[in-house]
Copies of this chain bind each other. A is one copy, B any other.
Amino acid sequence: MTPAGFYYSSNAFSAPEHGGTHLDAPVHFAKDHLSVDQVPLSNLTGNAVVIDVSEKALKNRDYLISVNDIENWEKKNGKIPDSSIVLFKTGLGKFYPNAKNYFGTDVKGVDAIPLLHFPGIDPGAAEWLVSQRKIKALGLDTPSIDYGQSKDFKTHQVVLAKNIPAFENVANLDKLPTKGSYIVALPMKIEHGSGGPLRIIVWIRN
């Protein structure tokens, strides 16, 4: 496989416990599900599709990615192929690591929680995606697949319950084509871990 382009798609860790690109393992929200060291390579490698919702998400920090967004993408690009890794581009990635612009607040620690404002995936859209399409993994360029104001982390529950891993704080999504990239996403192999730092690389087809 000769790469036409070859990118780092991970943000670096300067504060490993709270920043950087990482993977949420199914066990994080779904008891008895896979821990990070158990997620199969088949979920971590594959063709990606990039669904660009940045036009809406950059105007609304509480934007929830909807079924409608996915359906509109499919009208233009065809049905999401089976075994895709689905990446949502909110556009917020360009603000990383500026806390105020990326998280919506530069307050640190637990006091920040009610002040978090960043887009995420609507639980209904997540449910649709994991039941109506066959996807390997899900990712986006925000700190969480649930939006900043989520109280119940329903999107995490829906996605992880299907043993689908989630990639958060994904970098350089603006360098990826809508289709035609091949991803290798390798999390740190932490025994029994509920998640871990994630290194993603991308081959882009000629």
Contacts and interface: CB of A to CB of B under 8 A. Distances in A.
A18 to B, nearest CB: 14
A11 B10 CA distance: 22
Contacts of A21: 189
- Stoichiometry, as copies per complex, reads 2
Interface hub of A37, A184, A199 (most chain B Cβ within 10 A)? A199
B11 A189 contact: yes
Given A184-B186, A184-B201, A191 B14 contact: yes
Contacts of A188: 13, 16, 188, 197, 199
B186 A13 contact: no
Given A13-B190, A188-B197, 6 more contacts: A8-B41, A8-B189, A20-B189, A21-B189, A184-B184, A189-B199
Interface of A: 1, 6, 8, 10-14, 16, 20-21, 37, 41, 45, 184, 186-191, 197, 199, 201
11 contacts: A1-B1, A10-B189, A12-B37, A12-B189, A13-B188, A13-B191, A21-B189, A45-B201, A187-B199, A197-B197, A199-B199
